[in-house]
Amino acid sequence: MQGTLSVWLAKRGLVHRSLGFDYQGIETLQIKPEDWDSIAVILYVYGYNYLRSQCAYDVAPGGLLASVYHLTRIEYGVNQAEEVCIKVFTHRSNPRIPSVFWVWKSTDFQERESYDMLGITYDSHPRLKRILMPESWIGWPLRKDYIAPNFYEIQDAY
């Protein structure tokens, strides 16, 4: 079953894949990384003017990485806002996704956190650098294949 947004995108020849609905009935769509920047602008013009959240996760050890965007249509006089979840998958060998900072400014720190923890590079992001880990940190701590460096706690420090 396709949702209204998926049908709307298909009628206009915009490539996407419906991943179904979550437990709240919110439609989830998969967009290819090379199409994401243009489809993001189209979604904004369509009315998805609020980025509720952006996050990322490691799908499987050695597998794909995913960047997830939760978008909402906020309109005056509408009691139930329309929402959609967008997933953009990328290969971990060269994880690159276009940044949507220029569409939704609120994604600034969220894309930076995804970069810091999983190593996804958001092309054209104005300040893409580590935000939680020190700049000297090696690796991407939330990847499932991440091997933590050897840390030794100082014991009996008193």
Check if the beta carbon of residue 87 is closer than 8 Å to that of residue 22: no
Q: What is the mean pLDDT of the chain?
A: 90
Q: Please tell me the distance from the alpha carbon of residue 100 to that of residue 5, in angstroms, as a whole number.
A: 19
Contacts of 34 (CB under 8 A, 6+ apart): none
Q: Please tell me the distance from the alpha carbon of residue 74 to that of residue 27, in angstroms, as a whole number.
A: 16
User: Residue 107 has what DSSP assignment?
Assistant: G
Q: What are phi and psi of 91, to 5 degrees?
A: -75, 140
**Would you state the CATH architecture of domain 2-152?**
2-Layer Sandwich (3.30)
**pLDDT per position as a tens digit, 12-29:** 888 899 999 999 999 999
User: Among 122, 12, 19, 105, which residue's Cα sits nearest to residue 67?
Assistant: 122
**pLDDT per position as a tens digit, 88-101:** 999 999 999 999 99
Q: What is the residue extent of each domain of the chain?
A: 2-152
pTM as predicted: 0.90
